[in-house]
A and B are shown apart, each in its own frame.
Chain A
Amino acid sequence: MKALVCIGHVPDTTSKIKFTNNNTKFDSTDIQYIIGPYEELALTRLLEIGGLHITVVNVGQKETETTLRKALAMGANDAVRVDAEPTDAMFVAKQIAEVFKIGNYDLVVTGKESIDYNGGQVDGMIAGFLDIDSVSGASKFEIINDKAVIEREIDGGREIIEAKFPFVTSAGKGFAHEPKIPNMRGIMMARRKKLKIMPAFEQEQATKTGTFYLPDAKPKCKMVQADNVQELVTLLHEEAKII
C-alpha cells in the first residue's frame, strides 16, 4: 500500500511573527522552520502502522528540502517536492492531486491545518480534485485489512468512520501520541533517500492575502487583590458587562 503524506514547511510554533513590505509579506529573518506539528503526527502514525510505502510531498521552493529531509529521517521512504511557490490552497491541492495520480497512491494524509495559513482546506480540496471522499480532523487512525477505521471529533462528540481506499484524511490531535524523533541512523539514511523534484501543474490562483494586522496592544491587565474577589465580580458585571 502507498501513502502520500503532505508536509508543510512552517515557522516554529514559538516564532515571533513579523511582516515586511507594508505588512503584506511574512518576514522570515531569524525564523526556524519545522515540519507542521500535525503532519509530524500523520507521519508518525503511518510509520507505527508499518508495511506502507510512504512518500512525503511538499509544494515549495528549494528551502523546504531541509524539512523534507527531516521527514525522510523520521522514516518516510522517499520525497517529492513540487517546485513552486505555494500561492494558495487550491494551487497546493491541485499539485498534490496530480502527484497522487502519477504515483498511484492509496491514501493521502495531510495535517488538520497548517500553522501559518490555518486553512484546514488542502485535504478537502485534494479530495475534490480526485473525486474521492475525505475525513477531516482525524484523532485516531487504524488500518484493518483493506479498510481504515478513523475517529474524528464532531460537534459535541466523535464519530467512527470506516473508509475504503482511496481516500484523503487530515490528522489532528491524537492521530499519534508523540511525534517520532529521528535518530542518528535515520538522519544518515535520509541523505541517501530519493528526493524527486517535479515541475508544477497549472492551476489558477483563486485567493491571495493582503495586509496582515498585528493585534492592538492590549490595555494593561487590571489586577485585583486575592482577598477581594468581590471586586472581580463587580468589574466583570459593571465594567466588562460580561456577567
Chain B
Amino acid sequence: MSILIYTENFEGKFKKSTFELASYGNEIAKRTGTEVVAITIGKVSIDALNELGKYGVQKVLVVKNSELNDFSVKAYSVAIEQAAKAVKAEVIIFGNNPSGRAIAPNISVKLNAGLAPGVVDLPSSIKPFTVRKKAYSGKVTVDFVISTDIKVLTLTQNSYKVIESETEISISNFDVNIPAGLYNAKPIKTVMNTGKLSVTDADVLVSGGRGLKGPENWKMVEEMAEILNAATCCSRPVSDLEWRPHHEHVGQTGKVVAPDLYIALGISGAVQHLAGVNGSKVIVAINTDADAPIFEAADYGIIGDVLDVVPKLNTALRQFKGK
C-alpha cells in the first residue's frame, strides 16, 4: 500500500508546490502507516530527485518513454495508472494545476476512484475518507467524502505548508507500456510567458483594477511587485480592456489564487473578483471609496487615490526592504 504523488517537473526541476504535495502525502502516509511514492515523467537530475527525500518521499519512480515526450492526458494517464497499480496506491495526489487537473479525472475513471478536486486541507478523517474543498466559487468550503477504495485528490497550491522530514529515498526507473500513437491531441507549440514570476507561483500578488485609470499607470504596480518579489495580476475588466495580458486576470472566471499577501489597488471587490482571491492569507486594499466591498474582505485598508498613495508606499517599502 502506498500514497502516490505525481511530481511534475518543469524542465527537470521541481517547484515549491511539489514539495507541498510531498509534505501533504507524507502526513497522510504517517496516518495510514504507508509510504510516499513519487512518480515523475521525463528527465530530472539526481539532485532534484534526492531533494524529494527531504519532504518524506521514500521512493521515486522515474518514467522515461518516448510516447511521453509531448503532454497527452491519455498517454500520461496510462503511465500513472500503471505506476499506481504497481505500488498499490490507495491515495493518488496531484497538484491542482493545469496538468494535475487534466490527468486526475482520467485516472479516477480508470481506477474507479472517487476524486476530490482542489482540496485545501489534510483529511479530517481517513475512514470515511473526508477532505475539505472549496465550493460555490470559493464562497464556502465543504466536507467531501470519497467512498471508493482508491482515492484521487488534487491539492490546491499554497494551502498546505512545506514540512521537512528527511527520509531515506530510493530512486528507480519505472518502465511503462504505452501503445504508440495513443493520443489524438498533441501539443504543436508552447509559448512561455517572459521571464517574470507567474501569478500562480508567487507568494505575493500586486493586483490592479480599473481604479488605476489606464495601462500607462502600471509602472507603479510593477515597481511594487519588484520590491516585494511579487507577481502582478488584475481584475477582469482590466484584461478585457487589454490594459494587461489575459493570464493576469484573477477571479471566478480567471485564475483562482491563494497567495500569502494580496494587494488590491483600485479594485472594487465584486463577488466574482473575491471568489478568486479570498483564499489569500492577508489582503490589503487601497481604494478611494470607503464603501467599496473590497474593504469587507481586506485585513488592511487605505482610503485614498492609488495614483497618489502607491508611489509613497513604494518608497516606504523600498526603504523597509533596504532596496
- Interface on A for B, CB 8 Å cutoff? 11, 13-14, 17, 19, 37-38, 88-90, 93, 115-125, 127-129, 131-137, 139, 150, 152-167, 173-174, 205-215, 218-219, 221-226, 229-230, 232-233, 235-237, 240, 242-243
Residues of B139-166 at the interface with A, using a CB-CB cut-off of 8 Å, are 139-148
Contact A155 B198 (CB under 8 A): yes
- Interface on B for A, CB 8 Å cutoff? 8, 10, 71-74, 77, 97-99, 101-110, 112-118, 130, 132-148, 183-193, 198, 200-201, 204, 228, 246-247, 249, 252-254, 260-261, 271-272, 278, 281-282, 284-285, 295-305, 308-309, 312-313, 316-317, 320-321
14 contacts between A and B (CB under 8 A): A115-B252, A120-B117, A124-B73, A129-B109, A154-B190, A155-B200, A161-B187, A205-B147, A207-B115, A207-B145, A221-B299, A224-B301, A229-B309, A242-B282
Closest residue of chain A to B270 (Cβ to Cβ) is A14
Q: With A125-B106, A129-B109 in contact, is A17–B98 under 8 Å at CB?
A: no
Q: With A124-B106, A127-B106 in contact, is A229–B115 under 8 Å at CB?
A: no
A221 to B108, CA, bound (A): 42
Contact B252 A206 (CB under 8 A): no
Contact B302 A226 (CB under 8 A): yes
Q: With A222-B299, A226-B309, A236-B300 in contact, is A133–B284 under 8 Å at CB?
A: no
Contact A161 B147 (CB under 8 A): no
A157 to B10, CA, bound (A): 12
A159 to B313, CA, bound (A): 37
A interface: dominant SS: mixed
Contact A221 B301 (CB under 8 A): yes
Q: What are the residues of chain B within 8 A of A221 when measuring CB–CB? A: 285, 295-296, 298-301
B295 CB, min distance to chain A CBs, angstroms: 5
A217 CB, min distance to chain B CBs, angstroms: 10
Q: What are the residues of chain A within 8 A of B115 when measuring CB–CB? A: 89-90, 119, 121, 125, 206-207
Contact B109 A90 (CB under 8 A): yes
Contact residue among A118, A124, A219 (Cβ-Cβ distance under 8 Å from B136): A118
B interface: dominant SS: mixed
Contact B10 A155 (CB under 8 A): yes
Contact residue among B98, B141, B144, B185 (Cβ-Cβ distance under 8 Å from A207): B144
Q: What are the residues of chain B within 8 A of A156 when measuring CB–CB? A: 10, 192-193, 198, 201
Contact A133 B73 (CB under 8 A): yes
Q: What are the residues of chain A within 8 A of B108 when measuring CB–CB? A: 90, 121, 124-125, 128, 206
Contact residue among A19, A115, A134, A212 (Cβ-Cβ distance under 8 Å from B185): A134
A136 to B94, CA, bound (A): 15
A127 to B104, CA, bound (A): 12
Contact B71 A159 (CB under 8 A): yes
Q: What are the residues of chain A within 8 A of B116 when measuring CB–CB? A: 207
Contact B143 A211 (CB under 8 A): yes
Q: What are the residues of chain B within 8 A of A121 when measuring CB–CB? A: 101, 104-105, 108, 115, 117
Q: What are the residues of chain A within 8 A of B246 when measuring CB–CB? A: 139, 173-174
Contact A17 B188 (CB under 8 A): no
Contact A37 B253 (CB under 8 A): yes
Q: What are the residues of chain A within 8 A of B303 when measuring CB–CB? A: 223, 226
Contact A135 B185 (CB under 8 A): yes
Contact A236 B98 (CB under 8 A): no
Q: With A132-B184, A225-B302, A237-B320 in contact, is A159–B191 under 8 Å at CB?
A: yes
A133 to B103, CA, bound (A): 10
Q: What are the residues of chain B within 8 A of A213 when measuring CB–CB? A: 132, 140-143
A139 to B271, CA, bound (A): 23
Contact A207 B99 (CB under 8 A): no
Q: What are the residues of chain A within 8 A of B73 when measuring CB–CB? A: 124, 127, 133-136
Q: What are the residues of chain B within 8 A of A167 when measuring CB–CB? A: 184-185
Q: What are the residues of chain B within 8 A of A232 when measuring CB–CB? A: 284, 300, 302, 313, 316
B291 CB, min distance to chain A CBs, angstroms: 12
A213 CB, min distance to chain B CBs, angstroms: 5
Contact A230 B282 (CB under 8 A): no
Closest residue of chain B to A224 (Cβ to Cβ) is B302
Residue among A123, A206, A226 with max Cβ neighbours from chain B (10 Å): A206
Contact B300 A214 (CB under 8 A): no
Q: With A136-B98, A243-B261 in contact, is A218–B296 under 8 Å at CB?
A: yes
Contact B190 A132 (CB under 8 A): no
Q: What are the residues of chain A within 8 A of B142 when measuring CB–CB? A: 209-213
Residue among A19, A159, A174, A225 with max Cβ neighbours from chain B (10 Å): A159
A111 CB, min distance to chain B CBs, angstroms: 10
Contact B184 A242 (CB under 8 A): no
Contact A159 B190 (CB under 8 A): yes
Contact B302 A157 (CB under 8 A): no
Q: What are the residues of chain B within 8 A of A139 when measuring CB–CB? A: 246
Contact A90 B185 (CB under 8 A): no
Q: With A124-B102, A212-B141 in contact, is A155–B97 under 8 Å at CB?
A: yes
Closest residue of chain A to B318 (Cβ to Cβ) is A233
B262 CB, min distance to chain A CBs, angstroms: 10
Contact B189 A133 (CB under 8 A): no
Q: What are the residues of chain A within 8 A of B118 when measuring CB–CB? A: 118-120
B97 CB, min distance to chain A CBs, angstroms: 6
Q: What are the residues of chain B within 8 A of A226 when measuring CB–CB? A: 302-305, 308-309
